[in-house]
Amino acid sequence: MEILLAKRKNMKIKIYQEKGHSLPHIHIDYGRQQHAASYAIGSSERIEGSLSKKYDSDVSSWLERNREKVLEIWNALQAGAPHEPLVAELSGDA
């Protein structure tokens, strides 16, 4: 399952239901490139990816503003629980 959390310019911030992934994280799609980067929800640090580093601060600042809610969404997705009301509570684009 794939959930779009926010959009900014050519970036899409997404989260997935990924059984077996123990580190809560988000994915960034850039333009037509899927999984251009991944960021840890807890630290806002990039885990991997080829997205230009100039976007790190945009993604990190969005994550810092929304960390608690994004972590709730991650946990709900992994547990198969409803997540839609949580996504509606996120604060703005990246």
Res. 92 pLDDT band, cuts 50 70 90: low
- CA angle, 48 then 54 then 28, to 5°: 45
- 3-class SS at 89? coil
pLDDT at 15: 93
Domain coverage including residue 37: 2-88
Question: For the residues 55-80, what does the mean pLDDT come to?
Answer: 93
The per-residue pLDDT for range 25-49, each reduced to its tens digit, is: 999 999 988 889 999 999 999 999 9
Domain annotation covers residue 51: yes
Domain annotation covers residue 94: no
User: How many CA atoms does the CB half-sphere of 44 hold within 13 Å?
Assistant: 15
Domain annotation covers residue 93: no
Is residue 57 pLDDT above 70, yes or no?
A: yes
Q: How many residues does the chain have?
A: 94
